[in-house]
């Protein structure tokens, strides 16, 4: 049993079952035993790999899309560039390079909870004098360009099982000294009223209140001050089912198997995020599949240019291009949601194509 599992067992024995969101928050961000707080989990030697770690093309194109949005909104001089959960800082470094080529040189603001990853970001972005923040609400009040890649999938979700006109929440309890899943009593859940129409008894749905709160904060800023935000993650609109996944050394395992030592994620339901953005005064566009987004922004031409400059790496570049865009790889599962003020043009690549 991991040290965090032992602590959770003691806590549950003393105070009763915990919600999945409470367990997920402890597993990922506990100051002593949390998965993100204690390590750099990215890359081939770690537990998983993300799009910016696959190829520089990803961050470059994200940077260009945001620089283009900034240009089309009249190039505000006091613009703030922010990233939520910047990992190793790779995406930000690649985006800053392509932004500079477009005449935009903002100071990066990094919303990061992990001291271990803040240290890695400090090395990657040393030349750009980054600022670290604990929360989006602490960002300066200014026009905002914001990136979040594989951030929202790390926010704690609550899980509910449909039971007639109500819902039973999935909980974590203790049996024979080990952590086990259980179910709470049947309750009405106002946040899930709209899901009564498209679910049946026994279906599971997930909610993520912190994600909606953060998107509302970002959207309010975009509506007031201008700018653009790109939220990129794996998920869909109106997700149903248990999407909680634990990953360790690139292999799936049970979410209660090694608390604090495996990555825990849940698919992002983009529907409530788009709703929260609209309610806060911004215009959501998409979500579009990542492959469509990157192809619209010219990833094929960029891959060809890189391969022409380094022919010995042509195979690696072609493989990265395929991995990022192909529907059987990251191209369909990952989606891109764009947010802008209602009167601004949509961010390039985020408008769904006509059927």
Ligand X SMILES: C[S@@+](CC[C@H](N)C(=O)[O-])C[C@H]1O[C@@H](n2cnc3c(N)ncnc32)[C@H](O)[C@@H]1O
Residues making contact with ligand X (CB under 6 A): 28, 36, 42, 50, 52-53, 85-87, 91, 111-114, 117, 149-151, 154
Distance CA 180, CA 187 (A): 21
For ligand X, give the closer residue by CB, 226 or 260: 260
CB of 126 to ligand X, least distance (A): 17
CB of 65 to ligand X, least distance (A): 15
Contact in structure between 178 and 257 (CB atoms under 8 Å):
no
Distance CA 135, CA 133 (A): 6
For ligand X, give the closer residue by CB, 29 or 288: 29
The DSSP H or E segment spanning 180 is strand 178-187
For ligand X, give the closer residue by CB, 41 or 349: 41
List of residues 6+ apart from 325 with CB closer than 8 A: 290, 291, 294, 295, 299, 331
CB of 40 to ligand X, least distance (A): 9
CB of 159 to ligand X, least distance (A): 18
For ligand X, give the closer residue by CB, 21 or 205: 21
Nearest residue (beta carbon) to ligand X: 85
Residue 252, classified by CB atoms within 10 Å of its CB into exposed (0-12), middle (13-18) or buried (19+), is exposed
CB of 55 to ligand X, least distance (A): 12
For ligand X, give the closer residue by CB, 260 or 341: 260
CB of 210 to ligand X, least distance (A): 7
How many angstroms separate the Cα of 118 from the Cα of each of 42, 88, 132, 239? 13, 8, 8, 32
Q: What is the largest CA-CA distance in the chain?
A: 63
CB of 227 to ligand X, least distance (A): 19
Nearest to 289 by CA among 236, 244, 240: 236
Distance CA 335, CA 210 (A): 19
For ligand X, give the closer residue by CB, 9 or 154: 154
Taking phi over 0 as left and psi of -120 to 50 as alpha, with beta for the rest, 164 belongs to left
For ligand X, give the closer residue by CB, 88 or 283: 88
For ligand X, give the closer residue by CB, 219 or 264: 264
CB of 17 to ligand X, least distance (A): 23
- Token digits of residue 291: 């492959």
For ligand X, give the closer residue by CB, 20 or 344: 20
Distance CA 351, CA 336 (A): 10
CB of 156 to ligand X, least distance (A): 8
- Is the bond preceding residue 347 a cis peptide, omega within 30 degrees? no
Nearest to 290 by CA among 215, 230, 237: 230
The CA angle 139-271-134, to the nearest 5 degrees, is 20
């Amino acid at each position: 049993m991991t040290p965090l599992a032992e602590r959770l067992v003691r806590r549950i024995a003393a105070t009763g079952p915990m919600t999945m969101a409470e367990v997920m928050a402890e597993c990922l961000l506990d100051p002593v035993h949390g998965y993100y707080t204690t390590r750099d989990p990215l890359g081939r030697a770690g537990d998983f790999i993300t799009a910016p770690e696959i190829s520089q093309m990803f961050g470059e194109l994200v940077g260009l899309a945001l620089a283009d949005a900034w240009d089309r909104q009249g190039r505000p001089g006091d613009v703030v560039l922010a990233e939520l959960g910047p990992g190793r800082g790779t995406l930000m470094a690649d985006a800053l390079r392509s932004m500079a080529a477009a005449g935009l040189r903002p100071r990066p603001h990094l919303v990061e909870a992990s001291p271990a990853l803040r240290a890695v970001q400090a090395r990657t972005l040393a030349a750009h004098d980054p600022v670290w923040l604990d929360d989006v609400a602490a960002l300066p009040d200014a026009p905002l360009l914001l990136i979040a890649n594989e951030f929202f999938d790390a926010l704690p979700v609550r899980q509910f099982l449909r039971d007639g006109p109500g819902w039973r929440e999935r909980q974590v309890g203790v049996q024979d000294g080990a952590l086990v899943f259980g179910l709470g009593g049947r309750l009405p859940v106002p946040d899930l009223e709209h899901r009564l129409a498209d679910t049946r008894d026994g279906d599971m749905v997930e909610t993520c209140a912190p994600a909606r709160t953060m998107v509302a904060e970002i959207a309010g800023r975009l509506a007031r001050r201008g700018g653009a935000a790109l939220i990129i993650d794996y998920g869909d609109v109106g997700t149903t089912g248990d999407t909680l996944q634990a990953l360790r050394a690139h292999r799936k395992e049970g979410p209660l198997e090694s608390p604090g030592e495996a990555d825990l994620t849940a698919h992002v339901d983009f529907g409530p995020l788009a709703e929260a953005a609209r309610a806060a005064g911004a215009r959501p566009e998409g979500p579009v599949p990542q492959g469509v987004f990157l192809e619209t922004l010219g990833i094929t031409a960029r891959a060809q240019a890189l391969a022409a400059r380094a022919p010995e790496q042509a195979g690696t570049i072609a493989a990265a291009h395929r991995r990022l865009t192909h529907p059987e790889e990251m191209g369909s599962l990952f989606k891109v949601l764009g947010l802008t003020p209602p009167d601004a043009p949509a961010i390039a690549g985020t408008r769904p194509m006509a059927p």
